Structure 1
Amino acid sequence: MSEISSRKQQLEAFDRLLTIMDELREQCPWDRKQTIDSLRHLTIEETFELSDAILDNDLEEIKKELGDILLHIVFYAKIGSEKGAFDMSTVIDGLCEKLIRRHPHIYSDTQADDEEAVKQNWEKIKLTEKGNTSVLGGVPRSLPALIKAMRIQEKARGVGFDWDDQAQVWEKVEEEMGEFKAEMDQSGEQQKEKASGEFGDLLFSLINYARFVDINPEEALEKTNRKFIHRFQYLEEAARKAGKDLANMSLAEMDIFWNEAKSH
């Protein structure tokens, strides 16, 4: 890791980036062609690449991916300035004002002695800012369903709509499990549709319980995904070394390699 730079160096580096962005937008055929719409899917991809680096705890890669995302932010601001809508200065100033507004316990006389109070203040202020008629109005529609469930529950908690303790939440999990099983014991297309709805309720209640016991369900599921991938790839490699084809192996044969993978 390089030595952490001073504030002066940071500002100089940011100024250099803005200058390069101006030059690329003027001189590079690809950069000239880009629009806010054309950059959108690339930004999403870069965000997932940053997420991968964070999961790998690879600080060097995190640094690189943060640079890529910063480039996109600067790019959007450049396009915004060309349209006369916003520029980097107004983007940053707007962010600064929002941070000050949403931290009245720092910049005003509001009391907030713990993290939960801070989060509740944040959500209440956010609701008045955006003019939403619903507490849940600020949840992005395109969020993946698991993360969306987390955000919905967090926002509801922010205005006091929540269970009192984790025992109640676990009872709800067991209730939803029973309802799901009851539908699965039936047959027919109508029952299948009902079972799908009950499965969604079960997942929602499990995510709720995870929140109560301070487990991030997205992170927990991703760890399990990675664990499965690691073990399955071990299984594939072990089968190749044994001169076998997975498609022609019995489950009992595959289980031998799978159990070996657990210790690697």
Structure 2
Amino acid sequence: MLDLVAVMDRLRTECPWDRKQTHASLVPYLIEEAYEVQHAVEQGTGLREELGDVLLQVAFHSRVADDFDIDDVADVIVGKLVRRHPHVFGDVSVESADEVNTNWEAIKATERAGKDLFDGVPMGQPALSLVAQLIRRAEAAGAPEGLAHAVGQGVARELFDLVRRGAGGGARPGGRAAGRRAGLQGARGGLGIALTAASPSSRPAHAGGASMAYRLVGLDRLVWQTALRL
């Protein structure tokens, strides 16, 4: 890990490309690498390399930042894990994984106390997973199912209804099961949402597939933004 930090320090100092990067310019690469980890898990091969690529993005962002470093990033997640596992680091007793999950959600709710219900929901995520997260937040807060009618009609309502039907069948947008994701993609195609990748000739040589991943997410975001206006 120390070697990685040292390499990033040198790249950030001596490499023109690495030196010019910002948090915003690196986002497409982080998105692409996360999907490649998912692909490696599903294929059963290449996971070590793909996790290394994700770790590179963490190290890169930590080096770009002015107000924190990778040690601060680690401190934050260590603190969160300790707080949310009182059955390991405290005196809480649990008998099952379900109890662990219930405690985790209760602790999260306490940490969010006083905040807006949807505070922290990343609005830039793909449309289906965004709708799923909004619905989960609303349900966790005790919102009645009929409240979905407030979404209105049109594309926005179709997205909410689609996610609800998928959840009823055991599917979770953004989940790890390839079959569930394929089913959601097929349903999305039925709504007429077409995803086309940028041609290879239009990508910078150093960008690899990142421009394609960024465009796919961007199109999903556009669909969601359009839905909100309807």
List gaps (5 residues or longer) in structure 1: 1-13, 164-171, 177-192, 228-264
CA shift in 2, pair 1:201/1:141, >3 Å:
closer
Shift of 1:135: 4.1
Query: Which of residues 42, 58, 61 in structure 2 aligns to 1:76?
Result: 61
Looking at structure 1, the residues matched to 185 and 40 of structure 2 have their Cα atoms a distance apart, in angstroms, of: 14
User: Counterpart of 2:51?
Assistant: 66
Tell me which residue corresponds to 2:35: 48
Structure-1 residue corresponding to 2:181: 222
SS at match of 1:138: coil
What is the aligned length?
180
Q: Does residue 1:19 correspond to 2:6, yes or no?
A: yes
Determine helix, strand or coil for the equivalent of 1:112.
coil
Counterpart for residue 195 of structure 2: none
Judged with a 3 Å threshold, the aligned counterparts in structure 2 of structure 1 residues 161 and 139 are, in CA distance, closer, same or farther, namely same
Q: Whose RCO is larger (CA < 8 A, sep 6+)?
A: 2
1:207 to 157, 162, 166: 166
Contact 1:102 1:125 in 2 (8 A): yes
1:196 and 1:226, CA in 2 relative to 1: closer, same or farther beyond 3 A? closer
- Other-structure match for 1:133: 115
Aligned-residue sequence identity (percent) comes to 32
Q: What is the letter of the counterpart of residue 208 of structure 1? A: A
Q: Post-superposition shift, 1:39?
A: 0.9
Q: Distance in 2 between matches of 1:70 and 1:15?
A: 13
CA-based RMSD: 3.2
Is the Cα–Cα contact under 8 Å of residues 87 and 94 in structure 2 kept in the other structure? yes
Task: Tell me which amino acid in the other structure corresponds to 1:114.
Answer: S
TM-score for both structures, normalised by structure 2: 0.64
d(CA) in 1 for partners of 2:98, 2:144 = 13
Given that residues 49 and 65 in structure 1 are in contact (C-alpha distance below 8 angstroms), is that contact kept between their aligned partners in structure 2?
Answer: yes
Cα distance change of structure 1 residues 154 and 57 upon mapping to structure 2, 3 Å threshold: farther
Shift, 1:77, TM fit: 0.9
Larger CA Rg, structure 1 vs 2:
1
Structure 2 partner of 1:124: 106
Aligned partner of 2:99: which letter? A
Alpha-carbon contact 2:30-2:54 (below 8 Å) kept: yes
In the alignment, is the contact (CA less than 8 A) between 1:127 and 1:135 conserved in 2?
A: no
Task: For residue 226 of structure 1, report the CA deviation from its aligned partner.
Answer: 9.2
**TM-score using structure 1 length:** 0.57
Q: Tell me, yes or no, if the aligned pair for 1:132 and 1:138 is still in contact at 8 Å.
A: no
Does 2:70 correspond to 1:88? yes
Whole-Å separation in 2 of the counterparts to 1:225 and 1:56: 20
